[in-house]
Amino acid sequence: MADPCTQYKDMKSYWDIPGMKAGVVTGKTAWALLQYAKAKGFALPSFNCTTSSSCNAVLEAAAKIGMPAYIQFSEGGAAFFAGKSLPNDKGKLQGSILGACAGAHYVRNVAPAYGIPVLVHSDHCAKKLLPWFDGMLEADEAYFKANGEPLFSSHMLDLSEEPHEENVGICAKYLKRMAPMDLILEMEIGITGGVEDGVDNSGVAKDKLYSTPEDTELVWNTLSPISPMFTIAAAFGNVHGVYKPGNVKLQPDLLHKFQQNLGPKVGYEKPFFFVFHGGSGSEKADIHTAVDAGVVKMNVDTDTQWAYWEGLLKFYKAKEGYLQGQIGNPEGEDKPNKSYYDPRKWVRESEVSMSARVEESCNDLKNVN
């Protein structure tokens, strides 16, 4: 069997991919973009967004460097996007469904103006959150019926806390539903440590932080007959959040071993498309090793959360004397401060700071023009 990514090896630009356009891309075009990235030796950073403002920060950075963007919504982030006052009942998660779909529609509306392709993705979905996944798939199916493509580019199932065979089996069931729409499935094996979106895996057994060749091979053997459009977030010591150097033992070379195990059986090198979870705070060398091993997407959240906050923090420190009341500042007791506390002023500072951090992640992953 020939490596399907080979066709993109000599392609000069991702714009030469059939169907490529500015705005949200889905289906075979989105998958071809991941194949192109793998062939060219770079990966796409994917950023968790919770507001239109954070979406804009990602799009701004991607447009500046002229490369594709990847925007994703977690279940909690999606609920926040819709509004925390809305009902989001356990077992229904209607607020999270609404927020994720609203986010996807927002990106679909504004992304073409930024002039770059964008993938829209839903992040970690544990077994208890499957009503959220089901709701998004219903929205995909309705959008597909009306427009010939799904609303989202891809979705992630994170059933890594379940027995491995059950995890893979449920993923297969959902991939069968997604395949007719050419939706990309991201699945996780092994557990990403740390805390993310209210899920605490900080006390997980260390052996759960590392996947095995047998784990990845079972995924391939089960999912590839259904559709080639799936990626694996295989665990190689990944941890959500940022920790002091030495506290996290990443082993990205494991990804090479997984490729070397399966490659001879399918007839070409690096058949897997991997995803790097817990990318914030990772050493650049580990990132580069992972990309060389077939990582095509890396999640970034904690670093951009800090960057967004830091923009506001620096603004407050610089303008503190103008932010203590509506009237009165260092220039005079009767001087108005509206131009300083106007949300457009300080939210924009957060966007600029986050956008710069998005650019840094793109550089780390060689996602540069």
Q: Which residues are annotated as catalytic?
A: 123
**CB-based burial, 10-21: b 16+ in 10 Å, e otherwise:** eeeebeebeebe
User: Which phi and psi angles does 333 have, rounded to 5°?
Assistant: -65, -25
Q: Name the β-bridge partners of 196.
A: 199
Q: What are phi and psi of 5, to 5 degrees?
A: -80, -15
Closest CA to 199 of 252, 127, 132: 127
Element (H, E) at 234: strand 230-234
Can you name the residues that pair with 195 across neighbouring β-strands? 200
Nearest to 175 by CA among 126, 225, 139: 225
Cβ-in-10-Å burial (0-12, 13-18, 19+) of 68 comes to buried
Q: Are 80 and 100 in contact (CB under 8 A)?
A: no
Token couple for 361: 């992640």
For residue 184, give Cα distances in angstroms to 2, 47, 156, 239, 291: 21, 17, 9, 24, 19
For residue 152, give the nearest of 70, 208, 233, 84 by alpha carbon.
70
The C-alpha atoms of residue 136 and residue 133 are separated, in whole angstroms, by 5
Rounded distance between C-alpha atoms, residue 294 and residue 37, angstroms? 9
β-pairing verdict for 332-336 and 327-329 = antiparallel
